[in-house]
């Protein structure tokens, strides 16, 4: 395992640092500098250039302005100390100009380049005794050349800076897209695992149901025979025999639901009117839970489209009954439809007790229920039917305020009525 201390040193000392040291050393040697002040200012310039990317608190925009200001000040002092506007160190103005390109855009860098030339270079003309010296055309031409070259370097640096910022932005966008894709992949993997679990559970339920039905039939027949053979004076025995028979019926009903969930769904597509299917489901749900009012808000522009009317009626019946049972007596449930492109959205809205956030992810799993006498297969079968139509079902809920179940059905389903 690498030593953290050595890793920190590698991040602080980079190959570029040695390059800067060599370049400034070569500058001092080739210029044959003998003056201690000039050497000191060049060393200070090198230190500033090396430290600029290393001090973390000064990597902000304000910190960058500080570094640029230091380099401008050093360039001004070097040029002023070594000949003023004729100094060979005017080229060091390029370094703060290039640094400024990492902050400003094209126009900002160009303006900064011109301002740097004026403040740190042409301002040296103010210290000339114009009674003694005059600027001839060759000198003016040289000054103009240096100003233009500095502006050209600033412009090129700004272009490169813009490209770098664009690439950085694209890299961040790509990273976000990869993170989102990874999230979708995890969700897809979870959906596959869930499908595998449901398939295994379905096979187990089907096998178990078939194995249980025969002995249950024997138990029910025996209970009925026992009930007929018991005399009227033995009321307790007759009552117990009745309990056995009714419990067998209840278990048999549960097995029937198991088989409905486990067996392959055969979707029979036929063009049907969604409004009529909803009305039939709502009428049946109203008879089941008469204490709750059910209101409808249908979108008139939805045309008839292909779907299995019988199975979808079962879906809507289950959703409306669940919503009505979650609503207090005297309350209301609303069923809305709307068209969204090639998709129809059906919403069942209640203002009941709502669903806890922790339960929202498992509410469509088989055997999950919040009802004391519930089996937990109703919403699982609903989800299976909607999936086989190529649609989606979702739920939004807030405890104490109610729930909204949304079914999205394609008006041009891709299935062909084959078995699941």
pLDDT, tens digit (0-9, with 9 covering 90-100), for 80-116: 888 777 788 888 888 888 888 777 777 777 777 777 7
Do residues 377 and 360 share a domain?
yes
- Any domain includes 155: no
Quick check: 264 and 420 in contact, CB under 8 A?
yes
**CATH number, domain with residue 355:** 3.30.565.10
Measuring CA to CA, which residue among 39, 3, 47, 40 is closest to residue 21? 47
Output phi, psi for 84, to 5 deg: 70, -135
Task: Please tell me the distance from the alpha carbon of residue 269 to that of residue 320, in angstroms, as a whole number.
Answer: 23
The mean pLDDT of 8-12, rounded to a whole number, is 58
Do residues 275 and 405 share a domain?
yes
Name the one residue in this structure whose structure tokens are 């009674």: 131
The mean pLDDT of 405-410, rounded to a whole number, is 92
> For residue 366, what pLDDT is reported?
63
> For residue 407, what pLDDT is reported?
93
Contacts of 135 (CB under 8 A, 6+ apart): 143
| Domain total in the chain | 3
Do residues 330 and 405 share a domain?
yes
Do residues 380 and 289 share a domain?
yes
> For residue 103, what pLDDT is reported?
77
The mean pLDDT of 321-332, rounded to a whole number, is 89
Would you say residue 417 has pLDDT above 50? no
DSSP alpha helix (H) spans, 298-398? 309-325, 378-388
The mean pLDDT of 120-126, rounded to a whole number, is 75
Task: Please tell me the distance from the alpha carbon of residue 38 to that of residue 59, in angstroms, as a whole number.
Answer: 29
The mean pLDDT of 161-171, rounded to a whole number, is 83
Give the structural domain span for 208: 187-262
Do residues 252 and 293 share a domain?
no
- Any domain includes 380: yes
For the ranges 11-25, 131-145, 252-266, 283-297, which has the lowest average pLDDT?
Answer: 252-266
Show which of 230, 262, 294 is a domain's final residue.
262
Q: The dihedral of CA 162, 168, 174, 177: what is its sign?
A: negative
- Any domain includes 160: no
Q: Hey, is 129 helix, strand or coil?
A: coil
**CATH number, domain with residue 254:** 1.10.287.130
Do residues 365 and 252 share a domain?
no
Q: What is the mean pLDDT of the chain?
A: 80
- Any domain includes 140: no
Structure confidence by residue, pLDDT tens digits, 349-399: 998 888 877 777 767 766 656 554 555 567 888 888 888 888 888 888 888
- Any domain includes 386: yes
- Cα–Cα distances (Å) from 352 to 324, 325, 355, 357, 404, in that order, read 8, 8, 9, 15, 10
Confidence of residue 196 (pLDDT cuts 50, 70, 90): confident
Do residues 300 and 218 share a domain?
no
């Amino acid at each position: 395992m690498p030593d953290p201390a050595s890793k920190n040193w590698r991040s602080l000392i980079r190959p570029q640092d040695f390059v800067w040291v060599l370049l400034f050393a070569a500058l001092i040697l080739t210029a044959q500098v003998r003056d201690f002040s000039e050497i000191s200012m060049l060393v200070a310039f090198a230190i500033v250039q090396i430290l600029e990317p290393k001090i973390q608190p000064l990597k902000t925009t304000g910190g960058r302005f500080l570094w640029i200001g230091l380099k401008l000040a050093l360039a001004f002092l070097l040029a002023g100390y070594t000949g003023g506007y004729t100094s060979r160190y005017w080229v060091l103005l390029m370094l703060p100009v290039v640094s400024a390109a990492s902050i400003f855009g094209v126009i900002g860098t160009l303006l900064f380049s011109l301002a740097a030339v004026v403040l740190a270079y042409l301002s040296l003309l103010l210290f000339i005794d114009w009674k003694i010296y005059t600027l001839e055309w060759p000198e003016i031409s040289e000054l103009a050349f240096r100003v233009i070259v500095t502006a050209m370097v600033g412009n090129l640096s700004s272009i490169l800076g813009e490209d770098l910022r664009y690439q950085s932005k694209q890299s961040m966008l790509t990273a976000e897209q990869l993170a989102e894709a990874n999230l979708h992949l995890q969700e897809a993997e979870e959906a596959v695992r869930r499908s595998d679990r449901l398939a295994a559970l379905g096979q187990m339920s089907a096998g178990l149901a078939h194995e249980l039905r025969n002995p249950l039939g024997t138990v029910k027949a025996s209970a009925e025979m026992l009930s007929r053979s018991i005399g009227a004076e033995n009321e307790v025995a007759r009552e117990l025999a009745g309990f056995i028979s009714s419990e067998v019926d209840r278990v048999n009903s549960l097995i029937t639901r198991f088989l409905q969930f486990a067996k392959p769904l055969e979707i029979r597509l036929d063009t049907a009117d969604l409004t009529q299917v909803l009305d039939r489901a709502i009428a049946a749900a109203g008879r089941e839970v008469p204490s709750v009012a059910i209101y409808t808000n249908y979108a008139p522009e939805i045309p008839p489209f292909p779907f299995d009317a019988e199975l979808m009626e079962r879906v809507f019946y289950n959703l409306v009954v669940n919503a009505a049972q979650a609503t207090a007596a005297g309350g209301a449930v609303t069923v809305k439809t709307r068209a969204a492109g090639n998709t129809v959205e059906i919403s069942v809205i209640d203002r009941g007790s709502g669903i806890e956030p922790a339960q929202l992810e498992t509410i469509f799993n088989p055997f999950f229920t919040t009802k004391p006498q519930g089996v937990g297969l109703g919403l699982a079968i609903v989800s299976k039917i909607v999936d086989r139509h190529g649609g989606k079902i979702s739920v939004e809920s807030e405890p104490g305020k109610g729930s909204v179940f949304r079914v999205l059905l394609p008006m041009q389903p891709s299935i062909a009525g084959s078995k699941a």
